[in-house]
Amino acid sequence: MMISGQVNFGHDLGGFVTETTPELITRWTQWGAVNPLMRNHSMKSAAEREPWRYSDDYFFAMRELAWFRYKLMPYLYTFAWSAHQDGIPMNAPTVFYFHQQDPQTF
């Protein structure tokens, strides 16, 4: 997505339509925590995605990831501002930054 020039990126944690498992949604939350847009929802006919609907192990893991994301907010805000000002995607591929130093970068 980022190489296409979209400056913001996100996805539906756990999937929007299909069912999910506690491990899958926890892993997906790990990925979502470091993305510009982190949201946890689904369509009405799919299983609920709220962290408190899972066992304590998964709930506490997802809660810690939410706290981790809050710690990243100053960085996410800075990258969002840069994306607004310069059009550089928030999750830019490494080639955006290192193409001149390393032609093998992708």
pLDDT (tens digit per residue) in 65-99: 999 999 999 999 998 998 889 888 888 777 777 77
pTM: 0.75
Instruction: Specify if 38 maps to a domain.
Output: yes
What is the chain's length? 106
Look at the chain and report how many structural domains it folds into. Answer: 1
Instruction: Specify if 106 maps to a domain.
Output: no
Whether residue 46 contacts residue 17, with contact meaning beta carbons closer than 8 Å, is answered with yes
Instruction: Specify if 52 maps to a domain.
Output: yes
Q: Is 54 exposed, middle or buried (0-12, 13-18, 19+ CB in 10 A)?
A: buried
Instruction: Specify if 105 maps to a domain.
Output: no
Task: Give pLDDT, residue 70.
Answer: 95
Instruction: Specify if 104 maps to a domain.
Output: no
Whether residue 12 contacts residue 41, with contact meaning beta carbons closer than 8 Å, is answered with yes
Range of the domain at 41: 2-98
Query: Can you tell me the mean pLDDT for 10-38?
Result: 85
Query: Can you tell me the mean pLDDT for 7-35?
Result: 83
